[in-house]
Amino acid sequence: MSASILRKVSLREVYKCIVLDADGKRVGVIDDVLFHPTEPRAVGYSVTPTRIGHVIKRGYKYLALDATELAEDGEIQAILRKGAWNKRAVKDLDYSWDESVIWYGQHIHTASGQHLGRVSDALFSLEDGSVGAIEVTDGSISDVTLGKRTIPVEMIERFDLDDMYAIVVADEAARCIYHGGLAVTAAHVTDRVQNAAKVVVEQAPIVVKATPKVAAKIAKAAPRKTGRWVGGLKRSFQEGYEEGLSEED
C-alpha cells in the first residue's frame, strides 16, 4: 500500500493509548511516539508499564511500531511475543532506542536556519510510521492571534542531530499560512490581508483523517494529553531506561 494513502493518526490521539501484548493482556499505556534519529518517520513507542500490584512503578519499555497493530477496541497490540520489545526489536537496525527522537515539542528550523516554532502535533501512519504533516506552534500568544501552521511532509527534510538539534524543513515552509487565530477572522474582512494570503503556501490544519471506525476506537482508548514540552532537546531516557531494557521481554 502506498504510504501516501495509509491512514494517518494524530500524536495526541495516540498518547495514553492502552497497549496489549501478543496474548491480548494489558501491559501499559503509550507514553510517547518515537521517531527515527534522522528520517521523518515514527519507529516505535515508549510504554509506561502497568504498575506491579498497581503500586510499584517500573521503567519504560520500548515497542517497535512495525511489530504492532490496532486491536479491536482501539488498543495498540504487539504482534510478536519477543521481537517487538526493547533491544530485540532494534538489534538489526542502525540505531538504538536511546537515539530515537520525540518530535512533540521539538524546535523546527528551515534549511537556512530560520526558527519557525515547535511541534504541537503531527500525523503519522500506524502501519509504517510515515509522516503526513506537522503542526507548528510559535507560543500561546501567537496561537491566539495568528493560529498555528501546518507543514506538509514534502517540506520536511530531516532531523538535525549535529548542529541545530531540530526538525529541518524547506525554506518555503516559512510561507505556510496560519490557521485558527484571530488573524484568520481578520482576513475574511480585510481585502489587503486576503490578497497577501494568495502568495503564501496554503495548508489545511491537522485533522485526524483515520476512518470513522478507527478514529472512534482510538478516541475511546486514548484520551488526549495536554501540553508537555521537551524544551527542544531530545527527551532523556535516563529514568527507567536501563531498568526497562533489562526486564524480560
Confidence tier at 45 by pLDDT (50, 70, 90): very high
Q: Is residue 80 part of a domain?
A: no
Where are any strands of DSSP class E within the chain?
8-10, 18-20, 26-35, 42-49, 61-64, 68-70, 76-78, 107-110, 115-125, 131-137, 147-152, 156-160, 166-169, 178-180
Position 132 in a domain: yes
Q: Are 13 and 132 in contact (CB under 8 A)?
A: no
The answer to whether position 171 is within a domain reads yes
Contact residues for 123 (Cβ-Cβ < 8 A; gap 6+): 8, 9, 10, 131, 132, 133, 134, 206, 208, 209
The answer to whether residue 213 sits within a structural domain is no
Say if 230 falls within a structural domain: no
CATH number for the domain including 142? 2.30.30.240
pTM higher than 0.85: no
Residue 187 — pLDDT band, cuts 50, 70, 90?
very low
For the cut 50, the answer to whether the pLDDT of residue 55 exceeds it is yes
pLDDT in tens, 231-247: 333 444 444 445 555 55
Q: Which of 45-59, 146-160, 197-211 has the highest mean pLDDT?
A: 146-160
Judged against a pLDDT cut of 70, whether residue 198 lies above it is answered with no
pLDDT at residue 104 in the model: 92
Full domain range(s) for residue 120: 107-197
Show Cβ contacts of residue 186 under 8 Å, excluding neighbours closer than 6 positions.
Answer: 193
Residue 133 falls within a domain, yes or no?
yes
Residue 54 forms part of a structural domain: no
Decide if 22 is inside a domain. Answer: no
Q: Could you report the per-residue pLDDT of 112-121, keeping only the tens digit for each?
A: 999 999 999 9
Number of domains the chain contains: 1
Cα 131 from Cα 124, distance rounded (Å): 4
Has residue 211 got a pLDDT over 60? no
pLDDT of 16 > 50? The answer is: yes
Per-residue confidence (pLDDT) for residue 167, from 0 to 100: 94
Q: Is 119 in contact with 108 (CB distance < 8 Å)?
A: yes
- For all residues of the chain together, what is the average pLDDT? 75
Q: Average pLDDT, stretch 148-174?
A: 90
